[in-house]
Every structure is written in C-alpha cells, then in structure tokens.
Amino acid sequence: MLAELSPALIAEVQRAAKLLASKQRICILTGAGISAESGIPTFRDKQTGLWENYVAEDLATPDAFARDPKLVWSWYQWRRQLVADKAPNPAHDALAQWQYHAQSSNQQLTLITQNVDDLHEQAGSTVIHLHGNLWSNRCSQCETPYQGQPSQGQSRGSYNSEDSINFDEGLISCSHCGGYVRPDIVWFGESLPVQAWQTAEESAANCEVFICIGTSSLVYPAAGLAQLAKQNGAKIIEINPDPTPNSIIDITLAEKAGMVMPLLIQKITAL
C-alpha cells in the first residue's frame, strides 16, 4: 500500500499523525466517500440502472414521498439491497481500531457520520448517525416506529443481493393511523435528530482536531461542523481524493480513505 502513496503524501500523513497523537479531543465526520470503496455509490455519483434518470435530491425529500410514495419507497428498497451485502473497508476498520486504541490512551474520539449505512458499526465503531439509519422505518404521519416483517425492511439481514429487487413490493400502512411507512432517514429539508445533532455540535465545538473524511462538505447543517470547530480553535484535516469547497483545511490528505486511513492510524498508534 505504501508503494502506491507518493512521498509527499506520506509526509503529510506523518504530519497529520503527529498532530493527532499530540491532542486529546478529536471529532471525526464521515460521508459517503468512506463507503465508496465498499462498493456503495456516493450521492454525487450518477445514479445507475433503473434510477439513472433520477437525482438523489429529487427522491430524498418529503415532497417526493408525498407526490409518489411508491417511487421513493422503491428507491430505498433498491438502496437497501445495494448495501445489504457490503462490508466495511480498510478505512472503517482503521477508525474502529483507533477508537479501540483510544480507550487505553487519553484520547477522546467522537465519530459522527452522515451515512445511513451501518459499516462503521460492522467494523466495531461507536458512531453518531446524523441522517438516520437505512434499516429503520417509521410512519410518515404519526412517526410510530415500524417493526414489521423482515421482508418489509427493518433489518439488514432481510436483503440479500441486487438480484432480489422487488419493485412491485407494496407500500406498508401504519397499524396506528393508516399513514404510509417510510424510511427513518433525514431527507432534504427535514431536521436532524435532536440528540445526535446536540452531541455533534458539542464535540465539534470542543475538539482540538476535526477530521472530514469522504464528504463533499456541501450539505448543511453537517458541513457547518468543521466551521464550528475551526471557530473554536481546532485544526482541520480533510481526507478526500477530490477538492471540496471547504476552505478552512490545515492538512489535506488527497487520496482515497481506504488507502490513507490505515497508514494514518498505524502512525498515530505507534507514536
């Protein structure tokens, strides 16, 4: 792996590792890019297959669900099947290893994700989800959590592969009020879960280093966490192969997270 990283990048990884090893309060925000190497497309990737004529922003909204609930439900069933057989990659694993290591050192690591997949948990991390969980459902009217049959999508185990996509799968009605069941995910224009957001804000405002991994930094309020950290004196590290509008970065590691994170964590834990 080392052979594939340039000497300049390895030097930047070393600089980041030194900074991180010398600090106690670290806040980490991950986005879709960290799951890209597990085979889950990011939101800025073009949709594929049956969904190539749609953009995520037109499907992940309350208005879209009100207009065409079956379309939005089908898209999420497809996304669930896409994610069901995916596994954590070396970036998720490295973060979990760092969190484990931090328990015996003086470091306090808060891991926050915008992702609705569960690859951080599968890798062994404790993580705060800002945008909900792909495997949960609730009523779109009365908000009652839906705990239905496994085939109706309340657990990762009920989805096997893309081959079993069933676009005719009907909408489910809430047994309390008759409203349609929807994914328990934060859509565009909706508020973030109060407790998760409060913890994220506190962690960003109090951290000494804030790390953005695999996020385009385009979607607020999550994108504002790095700014909050910076305003309170934190250093900012970004891990992303492509440039982002984030202009407050102190150290950029411009490479795929799965390439950079194992080396970064190896260096931090060795220091």
- Residue of 43, 46, 20, 22 lying closest to 32 (CA atoms): 43
The verdict on whether 131 is a catalytic residue reads yes
Q: Choose, by CB under 6 A, the member of 97, 99, 203, 215 that binds ligand OAD.
A: 215
Site for ligand OAD in 93-152 (CB under 6 A): 114, 131
What lies within 8 Å, CB to CB, of 141 at 6+ separation is 174, 177, 178, 179, 180
Q: Which of 92, 120, 129, 131 is catalytic?
A: 131
Q: Choose, by CB under 6 A, the member of 4, 52, 163, 242 that binds ligand OAD.
A: 242
Give the single-character DSSP code of 175: T
What SS3 string covers 14-75? HHHHHHHHCCCEEEEEECCHHHHCCCCCCCCCCCCHHHCCCCHHHHCCHHHHHHCHHHHHHH
What lies within 8 Å, CB to CB, of 15 at 6+ separation is 251
Q: Is 80 in the site for ligand OAD (CB under 6 A)?
A: no
Q: Is 38 in the site for ligand OAD (CB under 6 A)?
A: no
Closest separation between CB of residue 29 and ligand OAD, Å? 9
Closer residue to ligand OAD in complex, CB, 103/195: 195
Region binding ligand OAD by CB under 6 A among candidate stretches 62-70, 121-129, 162-170, 211-219: 211-219
Region binding ligand OAD by CB under 6 A among candidate stretches 101-109, 141-149, 199-207, 213-221: 213-221
Closest separation between CB of residue 68 and ligand OAD, Å? 18
Distances (CA, A) of 58 to 4, 70, 117, 135, 218: 38, 14, 20, 21, 16
Closer residue to ligand OAD in complex, CB, 135/187: 187
Which residues are designated catalytic?
Answer: 131
